[in-house]
Amino acid sequence: MPAVPRRRMHPGRKRMLWASIALFLGAFLPWMYTPLGTVSAIGALSDLMLDGQPGAWILYASFAALAAGVAPWRLFSVVNGFIVAVVAVGLPVYHLLRMWSQVGFAGWMPGPGVVLSIAGGVLCAIGARELLTLTAEPAEAAVRA
């Protein structure tokens, strides 16, 4: 029996998988440091919590990015990746701007959770754009031994 050639995973899908890991970690890590303690987005292991629990939405987005990274349908992955990117960048930026408009930069500092969430959203958008602009490989390049 001849060996069945395996398809290589596209780099855009790999970026979405890395984005899902970054988003998963960003949902649980502290989003802001204050003199009163850390501010968590999901409400676990912290002194203070953001209203609306945006960390839960980031956690859901991490699983959607995972689905976009492993799904065999390109259009599904592209649409899902862009939706995840909007959520993963929009929520942290909204909460950072809200905090900045209320107290300025006095007394608080962004935490690793918000940085990972924004980075995961940007990474997911880059992966979705790469999948969107994907061109077909030539037939002779695909049938290498």
pLDDT for 9-34, tens place per residue? 788 899 999 999 999 999 989 888 88
Give residue 134's pLDDT: 79
Give residue 118's pLDDT: 96
- Burial group, residue 101, by CB count within 10 angstroms (0-12, 13-18, 19+): exposed
Mean pLDDT of 62-75: 93
Distance CA 3, CA 14 (A): 25
pLDDT, the chain, mean: 85
Domain boundaries in the chain? 11-133
Give residue 82's pLDDT: 96
pLDDT for 86-140, tens place per residue? 999 999 999 899 888 988 888 889 999 999 999 999 999 999 999 999 776 555 5
